[in-house]
Amino acid sequence: MALQSKNKVDSSFSMSSMTDIIFLLLIFFMLTSSFITPSGLPVNLPSSETTDIVMQEVTVTVTKDLRFSVNDRVVSREQIKGELAALLEGKKGQVVLHIDKEVPVEYLVEIGGIAAGLEANVSIATKPY
């Protein structure tokens, strides 16, 4: 009399639940990561109580020793308008100004005026308190 069990035990392991968890973690970290890309030149940004995260299409950086860059490409002061015009040509873009807090305000006004003249939205990058 051979007695056999009707219920077979399956010893294989299903990876589908593990891949679902990994996929959900990947989505979570992608959505909660910051969308700010660092600028090319190191600057000491001013502080502000409120900071909004803005998708950076074009960045203009001015360091305290008055070096200028547009999208991580070092340019002279006279080349800024041409670079911005080429990057914003035919569209209304977003320009984020990364200007060191020791730079005189006249440079902020000049570059902001150039970007506004090209019909771009201008934002100033700050760091929170």
97 within a domain of the structure (yes/no): yes
Instruction: Write down the pTM of the prediction.
Output: 0.60
Q: Cα–Cα distances in Å, from 48 out to 52, 84, 110, 124?
A: 10, 26, 21, 10
Q: In this structure, are residues 60 and 69 in contact, taking their beta carbons and an 8 Å threshold?
A: yes
67 within a domain of the structure (yes/no): yes
* Residue 111, domain CATH: 3.30.420
Q: What domain range is 103 assigned to?
A: 47-128
Q: In this structure, are residues 45 and 101 in contact, taking their beta carbons and an 8 Å threshold?
A: yes
Q: Can you give the pLDDT at residue 25?
A: 92
Q: Can you give the pLDDT at residue 91?
A: 77
72 within a domain of the structure (yes/no): yes
| Alpha helix ranges (H) inside the chain | 16-32, 80-87, 105-117
Instruction: State the number of CA atoms in the 13 A half-sphere of 26 facing the CB.
Output: 6
122 within a domain of the structure (yes/no): yes
- Give the residue, 116 or 129, on which the prediction is more confident: 116
18 within a domain of the structure (yes/no): no
Q: Can you give the pLDDT at residue 101?
A: 85
16 within a domain of the structure (yes/no): no
Number of domains, the chain: 1
C-alpha closest to that of 60 among 95, 102, 110: 95
- Give the residue, 114 or 41, on which the prediction is more confident: 114
27 within a domain of the structure (yes/no): no
